[in-house]
Amino acid sequence: MVGGLKRKHSDVEGEEEDEKRDWSPAGLQSYQQALLRISLDKVQHSLGPRAPSLRRHVLIHNTLQQLQAALRLAPAPALPPEPLFLGEEDFSLSATIGSILRELETSMDETEPPQNPVAPPGLQNELPPQPDPVFLEALSSRYLGDSGLDDFFLDIDTSAVEKEPALVPPEPPHNLFCAPGSWEWNELDHIMEIILGS
Protein backbone atom coordinates (compact mmCIF):
# COMPACT_ATOMS: atom_id res chain seq x y z
CA MET A 1 0.00 0.00 0.00
CA VAL A 2 2.78 2.40 0.80
CA GLY A 3 4.44 3.50 -2.38
CA GLY A 4 7.55 5.06 -0.89
CA LEU A 5 10.87 4.50 -2.52
CA LYS A 6 13.95 3.65 -0.59
CA ARG A 7 16.48 6.10 -1.89
CA LYS A 8 20.21 6.04 -1.84
CA HIS A 9 21.78 9.35 -1.01
CA SER A 10 25.25 10.49 -0.41
CA ASP A 11 25.65 11.76 3.09
CA VAL A 12 25.58 15.38 2.06
CA GLU A 13 22.78 17.56 0.79
CA GLY A 14 21.59 16.34 -2.59
CA GLU A 15 23.55 15.64 -5.68
CA GLU A 16 23.93 17.94 -8.60
CA GLU A 17 24.55 15.60 -11.43
CA ASP A 18 25.62 18.24 -13.91
CA GLU A 19 29.05 18.50 -12.33
CA LYS A 20 31.17 16.53 -9.98
CA ARG A 21 30.61 18.43 -6.80
CA ASP A 22 33.46 18.83 -4.38
CA TRP A 23 32.22 17.69 -1.00
CA SER A 24 35.36 18.45 0.95
CA PRO A 25 34.77 20.81 3.87
CA ALA A 26 35.86 23.77 1.75
CA GLY A 27 33.71 22.66 -1.15
CA LEU A 28 30.71 22.16 1.09
CA GLN A 29 31.19 25.56 2.62
CA SER A 30 31.39 27.20 -0.77
CA TYR A 31 28.16 25.41 -1.72
CA GLN A 32 26.51 26.69 1.44
CA GLN A 33 27.77 30.18 0.78
CA ALA A 34 26.40 30.01 -2.73
CA LEU A 35 23.02 29.03 -1.32
CA LEU A 36 23.29 31.86 1.19
CA ARG A 37 24.02 34.32 -1.59
CA ILE A 38 21.10 33.04 -3.65
CA SER A 39 18.80 33.28 -0.63
CA LEU A 40 19.80 36.82 0.25
CA ASP A 41 19.36 37.79 -3.35
CA LYS A 42 15.84 36.41 -3.28
CA VAL A 43 14.98 38.35 -0.16
CA GLN A 44 16.17 41.57 -1.74
CA HIS A 45 14.36 41.14 -4.99
CA SER A 46 11.11 39.83 -3.63
CA LEU A 47 9.90 43.35 -2.90
CA GLY A 48 8.01 45.01 -5.68
CA PRO A 49 4.78 46.86 -6.33
CA ARG A 50 2.79 43.90 -5.12
CA ALA A 51 2.87 42.56 -1.61
CA PRO A 52 5.33 39.64 -1.63
CA SER A 53 4.28 36.08 -1.11
CA LEU A 54 4.48 35.45 2.61
CA ARG A 55 4.85 31.72 2.09
CA ARG A 56 7.85 32.11 -0.18
CA HIS A 57 9.38 34.60 2.22
CA VAL A 58 8.97 32.36 5.25
CA LEU A 59 10.44 29.38 3.41
CA ILE A 60 13.48 31.39 2.31
CA HIS A 61 13.86 32.79 5.82
CA ASN A 62 13.82 29.31 7.34
CA THR A 63 16.35 28.11 4.78
CA LEU A 64 18.57 31.06 5.60
CA GLN A 65 18.45 30.17 9.27
CA GLN A 66 19.54 26.63 8.48
CA LEU A 67 22.40 27.93 6.37
CA GLN A 68 23.40 30.29 9.15
CA ALA A 69 23.47 27.46 11.63
CA ALA A 70 25.48 25.27 9.29
CA LEU A 71 28.00 28.01 8.58
CA ARG A 72 28.39 28.77 12.24
CA LEU A 73 29.21 25.18 12.96
CA ALA A 74 31.68 24.91 10.10
CA PRO A 75 35.41 25.21 10.81
CA ALA A 76 37.19 28.38 9.67
CA PRO A 77 37.42 28.35 5.91
CA ALA A 78 40.76 27.86 4.19
CA LEU A 79 39.92 30.63 1.71
CA PRO A 80 39.69 34.23 2.85
CA PRO A 81 36.10 34.95 3.85
CA GLU A 82 33.99 36.47 1.11
CA PRO A 83 32.29 39.77 1.83
CA LEU A 84 29.05 37.88 2.25
CA PHE A 85 30.33 35.45 4.80
CA LEU A 86 28.55 36.69 7.84
CA GLY A 87 30.21 34.47 10.43
CA GLU A 88 30.57 37.14 13.08
CA GLU A 89 27.64 39.11 11.86
CA ASP A 90 25.10 36.35 12.28
CA PHE A 91 23.19 38.37 14.77
CA SER A 92 22.74 41.29 12.43
CA LEU A 93 21.70 38.90 9.65
CA SER A 94 18.87 37.47 11.67
CA ALA A 95 17.96 40.90 12.92
CA THR A 96 17.93 42.14 9.33
CA ILE A 97 15.70 39.28 8.24
CA GLY A 98 13.52 39.93 11.22
CA SER A 99 13.20 43.58 10.37
CA ILE A 100 12.34 42.71 6.78
CA LEU A 101 9.55 40.48 7.98
CA ARG A 102 8.37 43.19 10.31
CA GLU A 103 8.36 45.73 7.56
CA LEU A 104 6.40 43.34 5.40
CA GLU A 105 4.00 42.82 8.24
CA THR A 106 3.37 46.50 8.74
CA SER A 107 3.02 46.98 5.02
CA MET A 108 0.48 44.18 4.73
CA ASP A 109 -1.30 44.36 8.04
CA GLU A 110 -4.45 46.43 8.27
CA THR A 111 -5.63 45.79 11.73
CA GLU A 112 -2.57 45.57 13.90
CA PRO A 113 -1.88 48.43 16.32
CA PRO A 114 1.28 50.38 15.56
CA GLN A 115 4.39 48.62 16.72
CA ASN A 116 7.69 50.24 17.32
CA PRO A 117 10.09 48.35 15.13
CA VAL A 118 12.73 46.94 17.41
CA ALA A 119 15.91 47.99 15.67
CA PRO A 120 19.17 46.28 16.55
CA PRO A 121 20.90 47.78 19.57
CA GLY A 122 22.55 51.11 18.94
CA LEU A 123 20.24 52.07 16.12
CA GLN A 124 17.12 52.75 18.10
CA ASN A 125 17.10 56.51 17.80
CA GLU A 126 18.31 56.89 14.26
CA LEU A 127 15.13 56.35 12.33
CA PRO A 128 13.95 59.49 10.61
CA PRO A 129 10.59 59.17 8.90
CA GLN A 130 10.58 58.41 5.18
CA PRO A 131 7.88 56.93 2.95
CA ASP A 132 7.69 53.15 2.60
CA PRO A 133 8.72 52.90 -1.05
CA VAL A 134 12.04 54.51 -0.22
CA PHE A 135 12.76 51.81 2.27
CA LEU A 136 11.84 49.14 -0.19
CA GLU A 137 14.05 50.72 -2.77
CA ALA A 138 16.89 50.92 -0.30
CA LEU A 139 16.55 47.23 0.38
CA SER A 140 16.72 46.33 -3.24
CA SER A 141 19.65 48.56 -3.98
CA ARG A 142 21.86 47.49 -1.16
CA TYR A 143 23.46 44.22 -0.34
CA LEU A 144 22.56 43.07 3.11
CA GLY A 145 26.09 42.01 3.83
CA ASP A 146 27.37 45.56 3.49
CA SER A 147 29.11 47.16 6.38
CA GLY A 148 26.77 50.06 5.60
CA LEU A 149 24.09 48.42 7.71
CA ASP A 150 23.77 51.56 9.76
CA ASP A 151 22.86 53.65 6.73
CA PHE A 152 20.50 50.90 5.68
CA PHE A 153 18.41 51.18 8.83
CA LEU A 154 18.30 54.97 8.56
CA ASP A 155 15.76 54.55 5.79
CA ILE A 156 13.24 52.66 7.87
CA ASP A 157 9.98 54.50 7.93
CA THR A 158 8.25 54.58 11.26
CA SER A 159 5.77 57.30 10.42
CA ALA A 160 4.03 55.00 8.01
CA VAL A 161 3.19 52.62 10.81
CA GLU A 162 -0.04 54.23 11.81
CA LYS A 163 -3.17 52.82 13.26
CA GLU A 164 -5.79 52.48 10.55
CA PRO A 165 -9.51 52.51 11.08
CA ALA A 166 -10.76 49.07 11.97
CA LEU A 167 -13.29 49.08 9.23
CA VAL A 168 -12.12 50.42 5.91
CA PRO A 169 -15.24 51.68 4.16
CA PRO A 170 -15.94 49.66 1.06
CA GLU A 171 -14.90 51.17 -2.25
CA PRO A 172 -17.57 53.08 -4.06
CA PRO A 173 -19.08 50.84 -6.65
CA HIS A 174 -17.27 50.67 -9.95
CA ASN A 175 -19.22 51.43 -13.06
CA LEU A 176 -19.69 47.71 -13.31
CA PHE A 177 -21.87 47.82 -10.23
CA CYS A 178 -23.53 51.22 -10.46
CA ALA A 179 -26.52 50.21 -12.45
CA PRO A 180 -27.17 46.92 -10.70
CA GLY A 181 -26.79 48.62 -7.34
CA SER A 182 -29.50 51.21 -7.92
CA TRP A 183 -32.93 50.90 -6.44
CA GLU A 184 -34.66 50.80 -9.80
CA TRP A 185 -32.50 47.99 -11.04
CA ASN A 186 -33.10 45.91 -7.93
CA GLU A 187 -36.82 46.41 -8.23
CA LEU A 188 -36.89 45.48 -11.89
CA ASP A 189 -34.66 42.51 -11.29
CA HIS A 190 -36.95 41.34 -8.54
CA ILE A 191 -39.97 41.68 -10.75
CA MET A 192 -38.27 39.88 -13.59
CA GLU A 193 -37.33 37.08 -11.25
CA ILE A 194 -40.93 36.69 -10.21
CA ILE A 195 -42.07 36.70 -13.81
CA LEU A 196 -39.44 34.28 -14.97
CA GLY A 197 -39.71 32.18 -11.87
CA SER A 198 -35.93 32.06 -11.47
Partner 1 sequence: VQNSKLMFSQNFEADIISTVEFNYSGDLLATGDKGGRVVIFQREQENKSRPHSRGEYNVYSTFQSHEPEFDYLKSLEIEEKINKIRWLPQQNAAHFLLSTNDKTIKLWKISERDKRAEGYNLKDEDGRLRDPFRITALRVPILKPMDLMVEASPRRIFANAHTYHINSISVNSDHETYLSADDLRINLWHLEITDRSFNIVDMKPANMEELAEVITAAEFHPHQCNVLVYSSSKGTVRLCDMRSSALCDRHSKFFEEPEDPSSRSFFSEIISSISDVKFSHSGRYMMTRDYLSVKVWDLNMESRPVETHQVHEYLRSKLCSLYENDCIFDKFECCWNGSDSAIMTGSYNNFFRMFDRNARRDVTLEASRENSKPRASLKPRKVCTGGKRKKDEISVDSLDFNKKILHTAWHPLENIIAVAATNNLYIFQDKVN
CB of 16 to partner 1, least distance (A): 6
Min. distance of Cβ 133 from partner 1 in angstroms? 5
For the CB of residue 168, give the shortest distance to partner 1 in the complex, in Å: 5
Smallest distance, partner 1 to C-beta of residue 67, A: 6
Residue of 123, 25, 110 whose CA lies nearest to 70: 25
Alpha-carbon span 127 to 60, nearest angstrom: 27
Q: What is the DSSP letter of 170?
A: P
Q: How far apart (Å, rounded) are the C-alpha atoms in residues 67 and 139? A: 21
* Angstrom distance (rounded) from CA 141 to CA 144: 9
* Closer of 4 and 80 to partner 1 (Cβ): 4
Single out the residue of 44, 45, 35 nearest to residue 65, CA to CA.
35
Count of CB atoms within 10 A of residue 73's CB?
7
Which residues contribute to the site for partner 1 (CB under 8 A)? Answer: 1-5, 7, 9, 13-18, 32, 35, 38, 42, 49-51, 53-56, 58-59, 61-63, 66-67, 70, 98, 101-102, 105, 107-111, 131-133, 164, 167-168, 170-171, 174, 176-177, 180, 192, 195-198
